[in-house]
């Protein structure tokens, strides 16, 4: 496994392999890898000849009051997990390598960022779209794998890949959960033991909605009220949003008529946790 | 010379050549080719194995009151000139091919567009940056050639290529002029015979500035006054701007201390013409 710290070395590494006719699968991350990231590497491994992981805590996707400085880091463990999962190269740049002094170019989407997490994180998806555009040009992959836990991010990436004509296939990786249902997240590391118990409210609220919809419920307000009551029954929780959306446009729906994505964000202590599920109404 | 009308075919054409180890030079245009465009093709021809021309009148870089519908077109002549210059493939998409129904991604620069032409054409450089990003991903060139006549555009492209980490070398092609000094432009086609005479004011005003600076003049206001007087002496002319700028940041300078780009835009009849020169003060 090679570790490449500059854009020039990463591009040269990829270009050399492409000249040999090899294909490249790419898994971009902000590091502090957990079983969810490992599942993305494992999903990508059989898809191409080479498997590239990037680790970069991208400052431009954090707002001024967010947790950039506190974002957890553990490079040694990341590299061990990456190697064990069959990663062949790790791109590990620092901030000055990614954003030079005169840096001024931004990639933005008109509609998708104005839903869900974008409402409370107004700079987030512009930062994501920009850094992913850069990473795609640096790694030059044939396939890129993104987790479905960040459902809105995955939609943004699919749209930007299509709109900007990247010749890259985007693959979504399933959410990986702890045995009790909590979705894996680097931010789970912030939770105290007591908050860890409260963090279960997200997956449990999704289960409540699934049960309601399976039983024929179609009114989003009524379903959301039940979810809200459940989450508010836990200590240290503050709901950011609970929304039922069209899975492509992310426009909110008021009545369950076809497949929806149910997405929610809840602050548990200082950690803002997200979870989601695609739900089909009963046939 | 192959003519490719879809993004998928163009990408497949380029990908196949890259697998063969061939390099690709790219000249993006809006068509209605003249000797200036031909010089870009000729400049690009020896740089790579393949030479790709694109012809696409990009609607997103025209403002609501600009000349999108009137923009001149002559595909048959374009293809003949391209073939004679050694072009090996022409990418010739239509609007629906380039911008799908749900299209929503934009590339924008923070600073460079707020100078020179960007002041009177506020949407222009965002449209240019976005379409060039798309074209780079569709053609996947190793080298791309842009004319120096669009000096600000060339700066925008260089900055965006660096910022978004495109693995592409940007080459500038010199301005090609008519024998009397008028810079070649597709928009010269709009000029009446009388306006054609007035169009000479741009290159003549540049010559005045060069003479002034060679003679030791350093005060931009005084030099600009002489240029303004000269241009206003022609019929059908309306100055949009005359600016002396730092060639990298495009920030305006008030005193000639080092190399500057002198850029100007003048409406002659209905045609908005531009010209520029890099000028060094005397040693």
Would you kindly state where each structural domain of chain B is located, as residue ranges?
Answer: 2-173, 186-275
Query: Shortest CB distance from A160 goes to which of B19, B105, B159?
Result: B105
**Contacting residues of A for B129, CB less than 8 Å apart:** 105
B120 vs A240, higher pLDDT:
A240
Tell me the average pLDDT of chain B: 96
Q: What is the pLDDT of residue A150?
A: 95
User: A55 - beta bridge partners?
Assistant: A29
**Residue of B18, B28, B91, B105 for testing the chain A interface, max A β-carbons within 10 Å:** B105
For residues B149 and B185, the answer to whether their CB atoms sit within 8 Å is yes
> Taking the alpha carbons of B159, B160, B162, B168 in that order, is the dihedral positive or negative?
negative
The alpha carbon of residue A127 and the mean position of all alpha carbons in its chain are separated, in whole angstroms, by 13
**Contacting residues of B for A162, CB less than 8 Å apart:** 100
Cross-chain Cβ contact B164/A106 below 8 Å: no
Alpha carbon distance, N-terminus to C-terminus of chain B: 48
Query: Shortest CB distance from B164 goes to which of A11, A111, A137?
Result: A137
Q: What angle do CA A30, A32, A34 make, to 5 degrees?
A: 110
Rounded to whole angstroms, the Cα distance separating B147 from B133 reads 17
Tokens of B203: 């290159």
Query: Shortest CB distance from B159 goes to which of A105, A111, A112?
Result: A105
* Plot region of A229 (φ>0 → left; ψ -120 to 50 → alpha; else → beta): alpha
DSSP string, A146-194: EETTSHHHHHHHHHHHHHTT---EEEEEPPPB-TTSPBP-GGGGG--HH
Q: Are strands A260-268 and A271-279 parallel, antiparallel or unpaired?
A: antiparallel
CATH class of residue range B186-275: alpha beta
Cross-chain Cβ contact A105/B137 below 8 Å: no
Cross-chain Cβ contact A104/B134 below 8 Å: no
**Contacting residues of B for A7, CB less than 8 Å apart:** 165
For residues B147 and B40, the answer to whether their CB atoms sit within 8 Å is yes
A228 φ, ψ (degrees, to nearest 5): -60, -45
Q: What is the pLDDT of residue A104?
A: 97
Distance (Å) from the alpha carbon of A169 to chain B's nearest alpha carbon: 13
Residue A94, helix vs strand vs coil: coil
Search chain B and give the residue with CA nearest A101: B163
User: In chain A, which residues have pLDDT < 70?
Assistant: none
pLDDT by residue (tens digit) across B193-248? 999 999 999 999 999 999 999 999 999 999 999 999 999 999 999 999 999 999 99
Residues 6+ apart with CB under 8 A from A204: A181, A230
CATH of segment(s) A186-278: 3.30.1300.10
Q: What is the pLDDT of residue B261?
A: 98
Q: Which of A27, A30, A36 is nearest to A178 (CA)?
A: A36
Search chain A and give the residue with CA nearest B17: A19
Query: Shortest CB distance from B163 goes to which of A103, A129, A162?
Result: A103
Q: What is the pLDDT of residue A67?
A: 84
Tokens of B192: 């009446």
Cα distances (Å, whole numbers) of residue B54 to A112, A233, A253, A277, B6: 30, 61, 42, 43, 12
**Contacting residues of B for A104, CB less than 8 Å apart:** 109-112, 159, 163
Rounded to whole angstroms, the Cα distance separating A52 from A175 reads 20
Q: Global pTM?
A: 0.95
CATH of segment(s) B2-173: 3.40.50.620
Q: What is the pLDDT of residue A283?
A: 84
The verdict on whether A37 is a catalytic residue reads yes
- The per-residue b/e assignment along B172-208, b for 16 or more CB within 10 angstroms, e otherwise, is bbebbebeeebbbbbbbebbeeebbbbbebbbbbbeb
**Residue of A16, A165, A249 for testing the chain B interface, max B β-carbons within 10 Å:** A165
Residues 6+ apart with CB under 8 A from A76: none
Rounded to whole angstroms, the Cα distance separating A223 from A211 reads 10
Q: Are strands A237-245 and B260-268 parallel, antiparallel or unpaired?
A: unpaired
Query: Shortest CB distance from B166 goes to which of A18, A112, A137?
Result: A137
**Contacting residues of A for B249, CB less than 8 Å apart:** 102
Q: What is the pLDDT of residue B66?
A: 87
Residues 6+ apart with CB under 8 A from B53: B26, B27, B28, B29, B41, B82, B87, B89, B90, B91
| Alpha helices (runs of H) in chain A, residue ranges in sequence order | 7-19, 35-44, 75-84, 95-98, 117-120, 124-139, 151-163, 193-198, 201-214, 220-232
**Contacting residues of A for B111, CB less than 8 Å apart:** 104
């Amino acid at each position: 496994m090679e570790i490449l710290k500059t854009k020039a070395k990463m591009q040269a590494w990829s270009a050399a392999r492409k000249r040999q006719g090899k294909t490249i699968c790419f898994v971009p991350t902000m590091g502090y890898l957990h079983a969810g990231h490992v599942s993305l590497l494992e999903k990508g491994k059989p898809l191409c000849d080479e498997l590239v992981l990037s680790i970069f805590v991208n400052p431009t996707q954090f707002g001024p009051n967010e947790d950039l400085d506190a974002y957890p880091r553990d490079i040694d463990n990341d590299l061990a997990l990456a190697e064990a999962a069959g990663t062949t190269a790790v791109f590990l740049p620092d901030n000055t390598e990614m954003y030079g002094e005169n840096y001024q170019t931004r990639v933005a989407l008109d509609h998708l960022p104005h839903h869900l997490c974008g409402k409370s994180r107004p700079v987030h998806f512009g930062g994501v779209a920009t850094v992913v555009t850069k990473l795609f040009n640096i790694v030059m992959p044939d396939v890129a794998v993104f987790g479905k836990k960040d459902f809105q991010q995955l939609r943004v990436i699919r749209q930007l890949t299509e709109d900007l004509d990247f010749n890259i296939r985007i693959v979504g990786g399933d959410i990986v959960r702890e045995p009790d249902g909590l979705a894996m997240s680097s931010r789970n590391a912030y939770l105290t033991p007591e908050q860890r118990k409260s963090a279960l409210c997200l997956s449990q609220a999704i289960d409540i909605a699934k049960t309601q919809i399976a039983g024929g419920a179609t009114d989003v307000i009524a379903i959301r009220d039940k979810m809200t009551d459940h989450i508010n029954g836990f200590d240290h929780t503050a709901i950011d949003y609970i929304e039922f959306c069209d899975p492509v446009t992310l426009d909110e729906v008021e009545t369950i008529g076809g497949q929806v994505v149910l997405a929610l964000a809840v602050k548990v202590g200082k950690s803002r946790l997200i979870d989601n599920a695609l739900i089909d109404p009963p046939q």
